[in-house]
Chains A and B, each alone.
Chain A
Amino acid sequence: MTTSATTPLVEISGLKVHYPLRGGLLRRVTGQVRAVDDVSLSIARGQTVGLVGESGSGKTTLGRALVKLAPITAGVIRYEGRDITALHGRSFLPWRKRMQMIFQDPFNSLNPRMTIASVLAEPLELHFPAMSKADRRERCASLLKRVGLDPDHLGRYPHQFSGGQRQRIGIARALAVEPEFIICDEAVSALDVSVQAQIVNLLQDLQEELGLTYLFIAHDLAVVEHISDQVVVMNRGKVVETATPEELYRAPKDPYTQRLLAAIPEPPPLAS
């Protein structure tokens, strides 16, 4: 696989995800929900693209469609220039190793019946079946250390951790297979502002250390503006504006973006 400097890592063109609406006794298709409607965007290697929108804008569906968790109606997804739209199941597995996802709900995204060790070992068992048990354990411990948790906590269960710590575990799970592209689906939205700051910092540190590429999905424009190199604003399944954070902050073009910006509660001035 050759990658020229100009080829984006991920390129989406004309992506559509439509869900049929069924009604009546025979569950006939009576209409469709256009969750994602003709979206194109590209993500360069090492960059962070922020995807903002309110609930129902289709931003989460877009993220899921990238990793085949939502059915694609039309459009093309390219990864390093290769068309991966039609790949499924086993043929998509190598790409799953390169793309990972971090989820919103820190309470719901870890299986309450699994220890942290088995949460982190699960992706390793799938993608590195040849790895020995001891190596796997060591890898899990170093992952925990990397996200700022105590490696001695491997034997604990998710309910023994706070929301922020659980989100760190979710990040460690995503990092386990050494991906290059991570989709952060509202990864900080459910956290307290103070914890949110820690997680955002962690994500940025990891990006620097490991050269990760992020698609950062959120509804909070302030966070997205902070972390992103490029911001994409979505509304009702369509992209309404794409800009750098500076442009967006200084001169938002789309009225919807302007409304989003105006709605952010103005933070108190920083104490000197």
Chain B
Amino acid sequence: MSNLLREVCRRPLGIASLVTLVALYLGALLAGFIAVRPVNQQDLEHTYHPPTRITWHDGGLAVQVYRVVDRSGPAYEPVPGEYRRLHLFAPGFDYKLLGLLPLQRHLLQPADTDTVFYPLGSDSTGRCVFSRLVYGSRVSLTIGLIGITITMALGLLVGGLSGYFGGKIDFFAMRGVEFLMAVPSLYLLLALRSVLAPRFSSDQMFIVIVIILSLIGWAGAARVLRGMSLSIRRTQFVLAAECMGQGPLGILRLHILPNLASYLLVAATLSIPGYILGEAALSFLGLGIAEPASSWGLMLSQAQNIKIFMLNFWWLLTPGLAIFVTVIAFNLLGDVLRDVVDPRMKTQ
């Protein structure tokens, strides 16, 4: 495993995507520390505020002060020469680091609490887009991990076993998989979502979405894993193990699983973007994460207002950029992993 990591780090694309992903996940983990305002703190005085410029002023970090030009727009303009002091690791709102440690310090906080500080602007109710983006990444980034774990576990269980045992088990498992693959997933999702909606809060809905996405997604993985386990089943080292009296469980654990591991890793990396995009699509359609919680898909759906395009409030589209970067990073990492893992059978 450490060998694999070393190989990945050797390739420029590998290290780049790895660093990006680590940064993203660290951001999600330390969301409270990085955020500048509580996720749902509104400020109706400063709706659609543009990103505030951060500069070096008077020997310290400072934020540009803006004034309202037109309340109906709304439009703001910077006040020349007026800055407010920013502090690193300064106290701000209360949060719990990693959900455990109560803290007040943040990465960057204005010296006065009434300073208008929006690193990535504000939305229609004056909430900080940057802070929502950071908190929203928790949903968007974990959905892929949880989803893929369920998918691969189910796929491995059903595919691996039916490939190993063959015969009737294989026949029925594969017909079941085909049935699942034939279900139009989007309609099922819509139906389930609307049936379940009244029973769940937004947080629970998050879990439900993940489960629905992966319950639909595992069939494809099961098919591939069945094929692979079938071909490993026929190798002579499995024959040798049977010959020495190794039972089915031992063969699965010692011989089949380790040889599927590299495929699992690559496939998992390459399928995570599907879950992130799936969550984004559902939330965009209003079927996923609901207010007041935040996710990238939800934020993006709130940016589909015509006004935002007309008045060029581009910062509200940053969740789209975040999704883009994450998906690209996962895909690149998956490609690099495949390159590293594939020639493992080389003899030299």
- Asked if chains A and B come from one complex, the reply is yes
Binding site for B on A (CB under 8 A): 64, 67, 69, 92-93, 96-97, 100-101, 103-105, 107-114, 118, 122-123, 126-127, 159, 170, 173, 177
Q: Check: B72 CB closer than 8 A to any chain A CB.
A: no
Q: Check: B255 CB closer than 8 A to any chain A CB.
A: yes
Given contacts A126-B245, A126-B246, contact A170 B240 (CB under 8 A): yes
- B260 CB to closest chain A CB, in angstroms? 10
Contact: A110 with B245, CB < 8 Å? no
State in angstroms the CA–CA spacing of A109 and B239 once bound together: 8
- B235 CB to closest chain A CB, in angstroms? 5
Task: Name the contact of B244 in the complex, choosing from A108, A122, A159 (C-beta under 8 A).
Answer: A122
Residue on A with the closest CB to B234?
A108
Contact: B236 with A67, CB < 8 Å? no
Given contacts A67-B243, A123-B244, contact A114 B254 (CB under 8 A): yes
Given contacts A107-B347, A159-B346, contact A97 B240 (CB under 8 A): no
Q: Cβ of A122: which chain B residues have Cβ within 8 Å of it? A: 241, 244, 246, 254
Residue on B with the closest CB to A105?
B236
Q: Cβ of A69: which chain B residues have Cβ within 8 Å of it? A: 239, 242-243
State in angstroms the CA–CA spacing of A68 and B257 once bound together: 24
Q: Check: B345 CB closer than 8 A to any chain A CB.
A: yes
List the count of A-B residue pairs having beta carbons below 8 Å apart.
64
Contact string, B249-273, partner A, CB cutoff 8 A, digits 1/0? Answer: 0100011001101000000000000
State in angstroms the CA–CA spacing of A101 and B237 once bound together: 11
Task: Name the contact of B259 in the complex, choosing from A93, A109, A111 (C-beta under 8 A).
Answer: A111
Q: Cβ of A123: which chain B residues have Cβ within 8 Å of it? A: 244-245
Number of B positions contacting A (CB below 8 A): 21
Q: Check: B344 CB closer than 8 A to any chain A CB.
A: yes
Q: Cβ of A64: which chain B residues have Cβ within 8 Å of it? A: 239
State in angstroms the CA–CA spacing of A25 and B255 once bound together: 34
State in angstroms the CA–CA spacing of A170 and B237 once bound together: 9
Q: Cβ of A96: which chain B residues have Cβ within 8 Å of it? A: 243-245
In the assembled complex, 15 residue pairs joining A and B whose CB atoms fall closer than 8 Å, in A order, are A64-B239, A97-B245, A105-B236, A107-B347, A108-B235, A109-B236, A109-B237, A109-B240, A111-B237, A111-B258, A112-B344, A114-B258, A126-B245, A127-B245, A173-B244
- B248 CB to closest chain A CB, in angstroms? 10
SS class, residues of chain B in contact with chain A: helix
Q: Cβ of A173: which chain B residues have Cβ within 8 Å of it? A: 240, 244
Q: A67-B243, A100-B244, A177-B244 are known contacts; what are 14 more A-B pairs with Cβ within 8 Å?
A: A69-B239, A92-B245, A96-B244, A100-B243, A103-B236, A109-B237, A111-B237, A113-B261, A122-B241, A122-B246, A122-B254, A123-B245, A126-B244, A127-B244
- A77 CB to closest chain B CB, in angstroms? 15
Binding site for A on B (CB under 8 A): 235-237, 239-246, 250, 254-255, 258-259, 261, 344-347
Task: Name the contact of A113 in the complex, choosing from B243, B259, B347 (C-beta under 8 A).
Answer: B259
Residue on A with the closest CB to B171?
A27
Contact: A112 with B242, CB < 8 Å? no
Contact: A93 with B245, CB < 8 Å? yes
Contact: B244 with A103, CB < 8 Å? no
Q: Cβ of B255: which chain A residues have Cβ within 8 Å of it? A: 111
Given contacts A103-B239, A104-B236, contact A112 B245 (CB under 8 A): no
Q: Cβ of A159: which chain B residues have Cβ within 8 Å of it? A: 345-347
Q: Cβ of A104: which chain B residues have Cβ within 8 Å of it? A: 236
Given contacts A159-B345, A159-B346, contact A108 B245 (CB under 8 A): no
- B228 CB to closest chain A CB, in angstroms? 13
Q: Cβ of A170: which chain B residues have Cβ within 8 Å of it? A: 240
Residue on B with the closest CB to A108?
B236
- A261 CB to closest chain B CB, in angstroms? 29
Closest A-B pairs by Cβ, 4 of them: A109-B236, A113-B258, A96-B245, A103-B236
Q: Cβ of B261: which chain A residues have Cβ within 8 Å of it? A: 113
Given contacts A96-B245, A122-B244, contact A111 B254 (CB under 8 A): yes
State in angstroms the CA–CA spacing of A159 and B239 once bound together: 19
Q: Cβ of B347: which chain A residues have Cβ within 8 Å of it? A: 107, 159
State in angstroms the CA–CA spacing of A148 and B3 once bound together: 30
Residue on B with the closest CB to A170?
B240
- A2 CB to closest chain B CB, in angstroms? 25
State in angstroms the CA–CA spacing of A112 and B345 once bound together: 7
Q: Cβ of B240: which chain A residues have Cβ within 8 Å of it? A: 101, 103, 109, 170, 173
State in angstroms the CA–CA spacing of A107 and B346 once bound together: 10
Residue on A with the closest CB to B261?
A113
- B3 CB to closest chain A CB, in angstroms? 11
- A162 CB to closest chain B CB, in angstroms? 9
State in angstroms the CA–CA spacing of A37 and B51 once bound together: 84
Residue on B with the closest CB to A126?
B245
- B240 CB to closest chain A CB, in angstroms? 6
Q: Cβ of B259: which chain A residues have Cβ within 8 Å of it? A: 111-113
- A71 CB to closest chain B CB, in angstroms? 12
Q: Cβ of B235: which chain A residues have Cβ within 8 Å of it? A: 108-109
Q: Cβ of A126: which chain B residues have Cβ within 8 Å of it? A: 244-246, 250
State in angstroms the CA–CA spacing of A78 and B143 once bound together: 60
